[in-house]
Every structure is written in structure tokens, then in C-alpha cells.
Amino acid sequence: MSASDSASTQSTARRSRIGPMARREARLAAGMLAPTFFIVFAIVLIPLLANFWISAKPVKLADLRPPMPVASERVRGDIDVAGSELLIQYRLRNSSQKEEIRNIVLVDELPPGLTVQSSDERCVFDGPRIRCELGTFAAGQRDEIEITVISDDAFAAAGVSPRDSEPILTGEANNVLTSAEFTFDNYIQIFESRDFWTVVWVTIAYTVFGTLGALILGLFAAQLLNTAFAGRPVLRGLFLFPYVAPVIAVAFTWVILLDPFSGTLNAILKHMNLVDEGINFFGQRSVELNILGLTFDFPLALATVIAFEAWRYFPLSLLFILARMQSIPSDLYEAAEVDGATPLQQFRHVSLPQLFAILSTLFLLRFIWTFNKFDDIFLLTGGAAGTRTLTVDVYEQGFALANLGAGAAVAVVIFIFLLIFAISYFRFVHREEG
């Protein structure tokens, strides 16, 4: 019997052992879990689909409020004197400067004690109820309705005003968010931008080096704390400070410490005669370096925010790596020591293979989180001096330039990048780990 026939026979035998009761229990369990899966699926999928939807539409920030007719009501005349002639004015306008509004209807109600003398020809009266059919308003159009009424004693004694009832306006207008018209103009705009690919490479460099920096610092800190010594709990608590402290506080601290005029680091460098004037770490795009006769431009501001990223998030790597280190059997190190392995060889051949799984998982998580990171760069540089990443570009397109469609298109690009990375990770790294 071949291996495939044997596997088929075993599968058939397993299915035969599953009775009707087990199948009913499986269906019941699936039915009970279905609402939970549906809710989670909706929470994840609906915002994602909405982002794709907006990215294919020319949506500006002002388009979030749909076109609607707006009315302000004014009353001229002495409402406290019986027999006075009152002029009721409705000033109307189209709130949109781009879209027309069709079939506009104004409905209002007059208080008792008023007799209509004259009115706009577009208005009809059903007792105290006013209904005015105004037709179509072009983009930004304004109009006015005037109604003349006479008050009687009952109205004057009641102390009311025609403005006490709010006019109701209805109309039909095209909404760019809900229409079925789609365009790729937002994607064309961002891909044709001269800065887009620069922003992409800055994002990749910031993500890769920030992630690797956090992992390497966490690895060294875990190696240090894996050895018992006096004061280790205190040092462990100090190492956690960058991660648990509020980001606004640590970002402000770094800005003050690296200030080119009054920063502590620049004061130390000047005192040691290493620099003649303060270095603007967060405001200088690049600095020229000469190493071994090779001159190149070093991205100073980008390197500084990468250093901040690695410093702020290495404690998370420290916690996971240290927990894994402490679970490695000591017999492995004892056997390596008996074989004459040096501490560096023990780290390379014993510790690293045991840490590969946790390091690869941390790299995946930290890569995704860093790629989506916005607040750190925005607080430190605002995206200036060559530090603008894709997430900062989403903010600038969507809110600074009020182009929500372009901002959503950049967000879709971020999603595609992360999707490609995740697929590649599970295709190669995760398989190698297994």
C-alpha cells in the first residue's frame, strides 16, 4: 500500500469515529462563536474598507459635512404692540461651494395671532403652517423670502415671537462620500509627488534601524540582567523607564537635552572642544563626515529620531528576551563550558539559537508598530529635516492640506507595505523558525 493510500485510509477511519453527536456539538460551537467572529471581523474590516473607499474619492476636509440648505430667520417690527405690521425674513444659502442642492423645501409655523398680508409667491399656507418650495440652489447661491403679517391683541399679550419655531429645510444633493463615482487621482497625485519615494525610503530606514536598534539594546540589557548581582531589581526598574514614561515627557526631555543653544549635550561637546558651535540634532538634515578618507552626508536628524526610537522601545524587547533567557536550561551552558566554549561562543551557539523564536516575533511586532509610529517623530521634528515618514504624510495630506482622499491613499500604501512584509515574514522567517 502506498503512503497516499495509507493516509487516505487513516483519514477515513478518523471520520468514521466522529459520530453524529460530535458533529452536532461542532456545529453548535461554530454557531455560538459566529457572533463573536462577526463582530471582530466587522470591527477590523469596516474601517479598512472605509479607508479604501475614501482613498478612491476626491474628498476634502470640507466634504465631511454634506451640502445642505441653511436658513436664518429675522423679524422686523414691534411685536409687543397689537396691530403692528411685522416683516418675517428668511435668509437662505447653499452651504456648499461646489455642489448644487435640488428640491429645497422650507417648512415653518407661525404663532397664533398673526394674519398674513403678503408673502413670497413660492410659499403656501395651511393655517399657521408655511411651506415654501424653493427649487434648486446652485453652489454658494443665496436667496431671501419675505412674509408680511399683522399681529392682534392675543399675539401681543402672549409675548411670543415668530422666531420661537425653527424653520425646517430639506433638499437633495450629491455627496462625494456616498456617490458611486471613483477615481485614482489621489494615488496618481501621491505617486507623482517628487517627495513620495523619499518619504518611503525614510520610513523604511526609520523602521528597520529603529527596530534593530531596539532589539540589539534589549538583547544586551537582557544579557546584563541575566546575571545575579546586587542592585539588579533597581537597575531593571530603571531600564523600564523609557517605555513606561509618557511619550510627551520623554520627547520634550530629548528636545531640551539636544537643544543647539542651551542643550546639555551641546554644552558638554563645547566644553570638550569637540565642536565650535551647537549641533542642531533635530533640525539639521545632514552633516558631512570624513571617515577613512571617504566623505559622505550623514542624515543627522533621521539618525537622532532613530536613536530615540531604539532607546524608547528597547525595554519591551528586554522583558521578552530576559524571560526567555531565564528559561534556557543551565545544563546547556555547563556542557558548553566543559567543552571549552568561551562566553562569546556560548552566547553565539547556545543563547542565540534559543532566542531566535522570540527575536523573530519581536522583530515582526516592532517592525509593524514602528512603521505605523506617528507621535514620536511628530513631537520631535514634526516631520521636518528629512524625517517625514508615511504616517506623518497621512497627517499632512489629510489635515494640514485638508485632502482626506490623498491621506487615505497614503494609508492604503502603508497597509500594502505591511501586508507584503507580513506575508514575506510568514512565508520565509516563520517557516525557518518552524
Q: Where are the domains of the chain?
A: 67-173, 188-433
Q: What is the mean pLDDT of the chain?
A: 85
Sign of the Cα pseudo-torsion (226, 230, 233, 237, in order)? negative
pLDDT at 219 over 80: yes
Lowest mean pLDDT among 9-13, 27-31, 49-53, 210-214: 9-13
pLDDT in tens, 352-400: 888 888 998 899 999 999 999 999 999 999 888 889 999 999 999 888 8
Nearest to 432 by CA among 324, 360, 368: 360
Q: How much of the chain exceeds pLDDT 90, in percent?
A: 30
Higher pLDDT, 26 or 434: 26
CA dist., res. 185 & res. 175, Å (int): 18
pLDDT in tens, 269-312: 888 888 888 889 998 888 887 777 777 788 899 999 999 999 99
pLDDT of 293 reads 73
Q: Are strands 287-291 and 168-173 parallel, antiparallel or unpaired?
A: unpaired
CA dist., res. 182 & res. 187, Å (int): 12
pLDDT of 15 reads 52
**Max Cα separation, the chain?**
114
CA dist., res. 287 & res. 136, Å (int): 61
Whole-model pTM: value is: 0.77
pLDDT in tens, 56-71: 888 887 777 788 899 8
Nearest to 223 by CA among 340, 59, 344: 344
- Superfamily grouping for domain 188-433: MetI-like (1.10.3720.10)
pLDDT at 333 over 80: yes
pLDDT in tens, 151-205: 887 777 777 777 878 888 998 888 777 777 888 888 998 888 888 999 999 999 9
Cβ atoms of 148 and 84 closer than 8 Å: no
Lowest mean pLDDT among 134-138, 207-211, 429-433: 429-433
Sign of the Cα pseudo-torsion (372, 183, 402, 46, in order)? negative
Q: What is the CATH number of domain 67-173?
A: 2.60.40.290
